[in-house]
Chains A and B, each alone.
Chain A
Amino acid sequence: MNIAAVITSQFRSLWTVLQHTFTKADTVEYPEEMPALFPRYRGRIVLTRDPDGVERCVACNLCAVACPVDCIALQKAEDEHGRWYPEFFRINFSRCIMCGFCEEACPTYSIQLTPDFEMCEYDRQNMVYEKEDLLIDGTGKYHDYNFYRVSGKSIGGKDKGEAENEGEPIDIKSLLP
């Protein structure tokens, strides 16, 4: 161990820190000045719709299981044509740590974090958001993706074999190879 280096490093640290007396503070004085937030800022969570305007969430529960604070709860329901959707979708924002794992886990781009963090409440109960509070009218950050166009499950308006990269349903009575 180089003793001289150890000692000088202490003084160099002191000097370096002291120099910062004259640098400008990085602090943005919110709320007088609004910070510039980027589109991928991890703030309030929303549920988006697919390009056809139907809600994207298929109630697969992956966001809920990815959530480290377990603040997402939902229940799957199914319409008469087999499309899955959440019967309820609840986020307890008083527990949410805005980690964005739910967005990473989401296979349909439904759940997205937005650059909005101004959601304080005096009553904690108001931090519980239901589906009607979360669902927005747009596609959010991903404009083109529509999960059901690539999945094999048939839903209303998309029969078997009509998804991307899908062949016509097999006629099992046919003898042709």
Chain B
Amino acid sequence: MNESIGSPLQIAGILIGVILTAAWLIWVERRMIGIWQDRLGPNRVGPLGLGQVIADMIKIFFKDDWIPPFADKAVFVIAPVIIMVTMLTAFVVVPFAPGIGIIDFNFGLLYFLALSSLAVYSAVLAGYASNNKYALLGALRAAAQTVSYEVFMGLSLMGVVMLSGSFNLREIVEAQRDGWFCISQFFGLLVFLIAAVAESHRSPLDLPEAEQELIAGFHTEYSGMKFGMFFVGEYLGVTLSSAMIVTLFFGGWLGPVLPPLVWFCLKTTIGILFFVLLRAALPRPRYDQLMMFGWKVMLPIALVNLVATGGVALWLES
């Protein structure tokens, strides 16, 4: 493979790029929701309101970093770190473009699934450590929701693996030169998309932090930069999910004329905007509806998709 993968320059560049994207998403989301709701969104700080990100950062850094006296201090501090660390380390395997990336694992897809599962510890520990009923309820919801949606999140991707015959993400991208998997794996895409929304606690599946019911769920007691880490962690999750969807279903860096990295970024941005659109348009389901939907609708679809893909693959091979 390419020599330049994993060079210190690339690592630094990707780290900064990813964090800046996540921070910039704060502005993108508010601006886009504003536009879709016939408002303007933040437009006062700097050109187009882009300075809003900086203003928010300054504010959040200088806020009182308060730990409630009734909280379990050590766990309370560790919880937000977990989400940042897992999300950032997951980016290690993302194939940005040929020759651009950090590590090229043969089990890249499994690595991604493992780390995205680890992220739930953040919510669970935060809720537990806060020693607050709303936080605890949020954490319980996060745990149940993540465990449920984890199951078919993995299953939904097995079709892609069968078609490409590899767990290596770069090989999966290369396997899509004949056609993006979003066509052949349409149901896989659908299931993965919904699971990704649930995994990153994004609206409309943001039940662990449903503010109308639980104030802010598992991070009710958090403020200052510790809250900021949850906040940025969520946007990192959105970015990661979009990047993975692009990699697995929309041909990654593949595309005509433009350089591969541009194609990748463009596709990822569209993915992110779709996540924002979901939040702007769809209402939150009830918790029992969410669980019912996961186990009774998504899981069967994922299984059928898996069996059908396997059958088709065997038939084509024979």
Contacts and interface: CB of A to CB of B under 8 A. Distances in A.
Within the complex, are A and B direct neighbours (CB within 8 Å)? yes
Given A25-B40, A27-B40, A20 B282 contact: no
A21 B281 contact: no
A17 B277 contact: yes
Contacts of B281: 13-14, 16-18
Contacts of B280: 17
B61 interface: no
B197 to A, nearest CB: 12
A125 interface: no
B34 A25 contact: yes
A-side binding surface: helix, strand, loop or mixed? Answer: helix
Nearest to B283: A13
A14 B34 contact: no
A29 B34 CA distance: 14
Contact of B277 (A18, A23, A24, A25): A18
Instruction: Classify chain B's interface size.
Output: 10 to 19
Contacts of A29: 40
B36 A14 contact: no
B278 interface: yes
B288 interface: no
A21 B35 contact: yes
Given A10-B282, A13-B282, A14-B282, A20 B38 contact: yes
Contacts of B282: 10, 13-14
B260 to A, nearest CB: 28
A14 B278 CA distance: 7
A25 B278 contact: no
Given A13-B282, A14-B281, A20 B40 contact: no
B37 interface: yes
A106 to B, nearest CB: 35
A112 to B, nearest CB: 31
A26 B39 contact: yes
Nearest to A21: B35
Interface in A1-28: 10, 13-14, 16-18, 20-21, 23-27
Interface of A: 10, 13-14, 16-18, 20-21, 23-27, 29
Interface of B: 34-40, 277-278, 280-282
30 contacts: A10-B282, A13-B281, A13-B282, A14-B278, A14-B282, A16-B281, A17-B36, A17-B277, A17-B280, A17-B281, A18-B36, A18-B277, A18-B281, A20-B35, A20-B36, A20-B37, A20-B38, A21-B35, A21-B36, A24-B38, A25-B34, A25-B35, A25-B38, A25-B39, A25-B40, A26-B38, A26-B39, A27-B38, A27-B39, A29-B40
